[in-house]
Amino acid sequence: MVELNLKVLGDRKIEKIHRTTLKVLEDTGVKVCLPRAVEMLKKAGAKVGKSDQVHIPAKLVENAVAASPKSMTIFNRNGEEAMCLEDDRTYYGTGPTVPMVLDPFSGERRESCRGDIEKAALLCDALKNIDYVMSMGLSGGSDPRRHGLHPEFTDRLDFEAMLRHTVKPIIFSAWSLQGLRDIYDMAAVVAGGNQSLAARPSAIHYAEPTSPLVHSPASLEKLLFCADKRMPFLYMGGPLAGGTAPVTLAGQLVLSNAECLSGLVLHQLCSPGAPFIYGVGSNPMDMRTTLAAYCGPDAYLSCIAGKELSDYYGLPDFNFGGVSDSNAMDGQMTWEAGFSLLQAELCGSNLVHDVGYLESGMTACLELIVFCDEVIDELRHFKNGLTVNEDHLAAEVIDQIGPGGSYLGHDHTFKHFREIWYPALRNRDRFENWQKAGGLSLEKKLNARVRHILETHHPEPLSPGSESKIKAIMQKAAERYGRPGHRSQA
């Protein structure tokens, strides 16, 4: 293993950010928009000011950090260990709720739909270096009612689409507490019951505070539900630097850290030791366009600093990589996606999401997921380092070959040449050979690979018992929103 631990802060700066965060939590406070949550914090020793602005003392933060598990294991749909979130173990997945998609068959940029969620999950199921999935689309598009869907029902459709098209772990969003309950029930069905799901979790719920320093009723209800059920909960403060957070990186880290840690306090008050994943990071706002900039040194510095803070608290972390601000499959896309993956791998983030994002997270690109799968493979090979032992030092082989000889036919070469990393999609051939093979660009190779997987890969189906129970959950949810004709898609 290569001894790489990319840092941008160091101990003294981390301490300054931590102490400033505690000052913000106690002096400024956070707005807590759920009476039950306010009462829990007040009972624990927090002070409640006007309009439910809660001032949290340092001791509550310290207690919450101490109570939180420092590692957790996430399983796949079959109950097999898939991800161990600790130290610098790094796992990669896609991103959520993308409104647009680049269609791999037509090339059209269009509104995403449930079918795109299914395709993305199926693609990830087949790719060895994509470890978990997020929705990469919206079942109801930007206006669910236009498709005859209630907006609050689409979260179940998103989750069901992923559940049916991959065995890999799922990180999901829910639009309401009822949506979370239904999704939890589906995950429990597949796991074999509530206790089995708690013991071998295969799904992580993702929620966010509202920057700056507001915890909405919906986010708090979901936070408390997950804590009570011991369902892994990911709470990521993601303010926009210069918009909903200070424009300075240190300032946005303080604000984002305060949002996440105040959520952690409430989470651990509800259920000490419940699994919590730390998410701190911010995209700077490009003042020329007012858009969030995913790529560039400021965004990467923020991500790496977030990992350092998570290590300081001893919590599993959430980062991003494999993304691009580009609007097309071009050189900008490959450069930014590759560099963002590099920073995530070298700093050792645990969960790296948003693989496949174009246009600052507005467009999903399946070809980019395939490209990133190969880059991740390369980075993992690189991080494994090199082996130094008697066989690899090869002194005897060097002596046997001697000056001027060739190693090509030696047994040692045949024994070890496969240890070298080989790309599957990028070109290493001579121009003439590449031309004879069709002269395909990387973009065309990526598209062909995506199409091949979508047309030939068949994910493992749900068991018949799970199938009928999930259909019943979805049917009941559909009726709740006035859609008695809903049918789960097998």
- Name the one residue in this structure whose structure tokens are 């996440």: 260
**Residue 410 domain-assigned (yes or no):** yes
Residue 238 has pLDDT above 90, yes or no: no
* pLDDT number for residue 344: 96
Mean pLDDT value across residues 342-353: 97
Rounded to an integer, what distance in angstroms lies between the CA atom of residue 69 and that of residue 305? 21
Residue 338, Cα to own-chain centre: how many angstroms? 16
Torsion angle of alpha carbons 160, 163, 164, 169, nearest 10°? Answer: 160
Do 366 and 450 contact (CB within 8 A), yes or no? yes
Mean pLDDT value across residues 354-360: 97
Residues 210-230 pLDDT 10s: 999 999 999 999 999 999 999
| pLDDT-based confidence at residue 1 (cuts at 50, 70, 90) | low
**Residue 411 domain-assigned (yes or no):** yes
Residues 280-306 pLDDT 10s: 977 888 889 888 889 999 999 999 999
Do 1 and 88 contact (CB within 8 A), yes or no? no
Amino acid at site 142: S
Rounded to an integer, what distance in angstroms lies between the CA atom of residue 40 and that of residue 52? 12
Residue 17 has pLDDT above 70, yes or no: yes
Top pLDDT among 292 and 392 is at: 392
Residue 441 has pLDDT above 90, yes or no: yes
Residue 148 token pair: 């005859």
Amino acid at site 334: T
Number of domains in the chain: 1
Rounded to an integer, what distance in angstroms lies between the CA atom of residue 488 and that of residue 490? 6
**Residue 398 domain-assigned (yes or no):** yes
Residue 473 token pair: 């959950």
* pLDDT number for residue 483: 65
Q: Is the dihedral of CA 98, 319, 90, 3 positive or negative?
A: positive
**Residue 402 domain-assigned (yes or no):** yes
**Residue 415 domain-assigned (yes or no):** yes
**Residue 409 domain-assigned (yes or no):** yes
pTM score above 0.85: yes
142 burial class (0-12, 13-18, 19+ CB within 10 angstroms)? exposed
**Residue 404 domain-assigned (yes or no):** yes
Residue 410's domain comprises: 390-419
- Name the one residue in this structure whose structure tokens are 């509530």: 194
Instruction: Annotate the chain with three-state secondary structure.
Output: CCCCCCCCCCHHHHHHHHHHHHHHHHHHCEEECCHHHHHHHHHHCCEECHHHEEECCHHHHHHHHHHCCCCEEEECCCCCEEEEECCCCCEEECCCCCCEEECCCCCCEEECCHHHHHHHHHHHHHCCCCCEECCCCCCCCCCHHHHCCCHHHHHHHHHHHHHHHCCCCEEECCCCHHHHHHHHHHHHHHHCCHHHHHHCCCEEEEECCECCCEECHHHHHHHHHHHHHCCCEEEEECCEECCCECCCHHHHHHHHHHHHHHHHHHHHHHCCCCCEEEEECCEEEECCCCEECCCCHHHHHHHHHHHHHHHHHCCCEEEECCECCCCCCCHHHHHHHHHHHHHHHHHCCCEEECCCEEHHHCEEEHHHHHHHHHHHHHHHHHHHCCCCCHHHHCHHHHHHHCCCCCCCCCHHHHHHHHHCCCCCCCCCCCHHHHHHCCCCCHHHHHHHHHHHHHHHCCCCCCCHHHHHHHHHHHHHHHHHCCCCCCCCCC
Do 215 and 35 contact (CB within 8 A), yes or no? no
* pLDDT number for residue 490: 37
**Residue 354 domain-assigned (yes or no):** no
Rounded to an integer, what distance in angstroms lies between the CA atom of residue 155 and that of residue 97? 10
Q: Is the dihedral of CA 464, 222, 155, 120 positive or negative?
A: negative
| pLDDT-based confidence at residue 171 (cuts at 50, 70, 90) | very high
Phi, psi for 177 (deg, rounded to 5): -65, -40
Mean pLDDT value across residues 423-451: 96
Amino acid at site 463: S
Rounded to an integer, what distance in angstroms lies between the CA atom of residue 255 and that of residue 237? 8
Instruction: Name 319's bridge partners.
Output: 352
Phi, psi for 278 (deg, rounded to 5): -85, 130
Q: Which of 176, 172, 137, 171 is nearest to 153 (CA)?
A: 176
Top pLDDT among 32 and 239 is at: 32
Mean pLDDT value across residues 107-136: 98
Amino acid at site 286: D
